[in-house]
Structure 1
Amino acid sequence: MTLTELRYIVTLAQERHFGRAAERCHVSQPTLSVGVKKLEDELSVLIFERSKSAVRLTPVGEGIVAQAQKVLEQAQGVRELAQAGKNQLAAPLKVGAIYTIGPYLFPHLIPQLHRVAPQMPLYIEENFTHVLRDKLRNGELDAVIIALPFNEPDVLTKVLYDEPFQVLLPAGHPWTAQASIDASQLNDKSLLLLGEGHCFRDQVLEACPTLRKGGENHAKHTTVESSSLETIRHMVASGLGISILPLSAVNSHHYAPGIFEVRPLTAPAPFRSVAIAWRTSFPRPKAIELLADSIRLCSVLKPAVSA
């Protein structure tokens, strides 16, 4: 039994004429007749009554043709699914991002991506790097946007842009008189940091080496640890202390002018490299490529040389 034979009997049932049915199936009349007879022999039933003047369905033939029609419709559905699969930009994409990237990237990325791939909506998750790593590995996410380093077997990474760090100061802070802040100055002032588990916290500590000289020294210079950059921004605005933010987060706020000030760190300023990671086996490389291009396009940051 083949789909071709099922198509023959369905068309013949509709036309009630071998010649017209053969014409619709784009085969000769003998070919169609042989195909119908072959199916009847295989099933050991007569599907059609034949006479010189008419072709009629038998009672059992009516049920067989009805079922054959369903099979042909399902087969067409399979073809349509396969065709849709050829368009790598015609299905949702599951994207994760770390907490210090997602809130500042997605408001710009989503409109840009919608313009170039309107049939590819994003399922979005924000989480810690280690959680995103696990979800990428087990297929719960298709791609993740993280800060390097990020090493995982059978996972590819592509650097998207380099993002410098900047110092956030309360308005009226003495350091606002400076054009830039040297990292060594942060050693003797209270620095508001993200809590444990955030890779940005580790990158800030890496940028200020003396803050990492033992637990007691670190505790002395860090009065508050927060779960989000936005909470840190609020505490800086209230005058509790100062902090370091990635450039993309600096101007993403609703405060009126004059609440806080931003200063760059003295050159060579520390920065992080933001990258996209995906499994080598992921079957939609065009979707990853378009996502990466859209991130670069909507980012106001300097693209990384290695991208």
Structure 2
Amino acid sequence: MKSVKAILAAAALLVFNQTFAQESPNEVVITGVRFAYPLVEKWIRDYKAENPQANLRIETRTITDPAKYDLLIEAYEQEKEVRETREYISVGRYALLPIANAKSEFAKEYADKGLNEKTYKQIYFHDIYAEKDKTLPSNYTIYTRLQKAGAPLTFARYFGYVQQNIKGKTIAGADEHLIKALLKDETGVSYTTPGLAYDLQTRRPVEGLTIIPVDLDGNGRVSKEEKALDNLDQVIAAVEADKIRNVPVEYLHFSIAKQNSNPEAKKFLLWVADHADKDLHQFGYLKGEPKRLADEKQKLEKFAAVK
């Protein structure tokens, strides 16, 4: 009898512990755009070093978001109805660069020639009204995202289109799946973030990829300086300069629900607002406008103070 009671007591204790762990107020579930995970993982490690009691984890987004999460990281601005229900902090910006399989004829030609706005539009978008350049090659294959996502939305909007106007093969999955598909196809051409286009340790382009230069100053041609794409830090510095052209740039946002939000998640967001800048360049991101971050942080502080 004692052994049965002991087993039942142990079972009850296990259930209690599991329930307590699931409902722990220190657990913070984060999800959202997958190309940001390496950066977010760095922030989680640093935050937990200062707050050992915290339990933060990323739950990987698939076709949809997880059923339950505390923080959402997104690469585009949501619709008004969604924004009204959440508090936001703009943690940095990302750029989108044209890329090609390094063995492709496209890479060999355009690594030297580069892209201006006219050729950009004709290569990447369906547009019956666009002026045609008959000298463009035909032996290339554009790869783009199937699902609605930050990178293709930002890429299309910058040039005056919608995501559905992007040409080519649509790939299910995340942004890194575009690169995997492109590396298998010697005609492959796409677009991606610097954090995926470059090796973050060596700061050089990922093996097998060619970063295609673009007309950054809008003068209609690509200069020698604009072709200098071998070093990630130089690229970030060039793209952060004022009034550049032909490089889509958008903010990366963290958001939290205004109602019934997790106190530890609020605390983590404030920590990110104070610490984000020092890690952005390392992971291929651009710094944001200081005033924008300061204003959003002030709003977040007021929100976090509400119990």
User: 5 Å matches for 1:57-68?
Assistant: none
- Greater relative contact order, per chain length (Cα 8 Å cut-off, separation 6+): 2
Give the corresponding residue for 1:234. Answer: 180
For the pair shown, the structure with the greater C-alpha radius of gyration is: 1
1:205 alignment partner in structure 2: 156
Question: How far apart are the structure 2 equivalents of 1:98 and 1:257?
Answer: 21
Which runs of 5 or more residues in structure 2 are unaligned? 1-19, 124-139, 217-243, 294-307
CA RMSD of aligned residues (A): 3.3
Give the whole-Å Cα distance in 2 for the aligned partners of 1:264 and 1:113. Answer: 37
Q: 8 Å contact 1:96–1:145 — kept in the other structure?
A: yes
Q: CA deviation at 1:264?
A: 5.1
Moved over 6 A (4+): 253-257
- How many residue pairs match? The answer is 207
Q: 1:245 aligns with which of 185, 192, 211?
A: 192
Q: 1:112, 1:294 within 8 Å by CA — same for their partners in 2?
A: no
State the Cα deviation string for residues 182-229 of structure 1 (Å, max 9, x = none).
Answer: 3432323532101123232222222344686xx7xx47x313434222
- CA-CA distance at 1:127 after TM superposition: 2.1
- 2:27 is equivalent to residue 92 of structure 1: yes
Q: 1:157–1:243: structure 2 CA closer, same or farther, 3 Å change rule?
A: same
Alignment partner of 1:141 is 2:119:
no
Are 1:154 and 2:101 matched, yes or no?
no
Superposed counterparts of 1:5-24, under 5 Å: none
- Report the TM-score, using the length of structure 1 for normalisation: 0.57
- Secondary structure, in 3 states, of the residue corresponding to 2:143? strand
Q: Structure 2 matches for 1:1-307, cutoff 5 A?
A: 91-102=26-37, 104-127=38-61, 131=65, 135=67, 140-150=68-78, 151-172=82-103, 173=107, 174-178=109-113, 181-186=115-120, 187-188=122-123, 190-209=141-160, 218=165, 221-238=167-184, 239-252=186-199, 258-263=207-212, 265=214, 266=216, 267-268=244-245, 269-281=247-259, 282=261, 283-284=263-264, 285-300=266-281, 301-305=285-289, 306-307=292-293
Contact preservation (8 Å) 1:99, 1:128 = no
The one-letter amino acid of 1:240's match is: T
1:77 equivalent in structure 2 = none
d(CA) in 2 for partners of 1:100 and 1:209? 24
Structure 1: tracts of 5 or more residues without a match: 1-80, 82-87
Identity among equivalent pairs (%): 10
| Larger mean Cα displacement after TM superposition, 236-245 or 122-131 | 122-131
Deviation of the 1:258 alpha carbon: 5.0
Name the SS of the counterpart of 1:101 in structure 2: helix
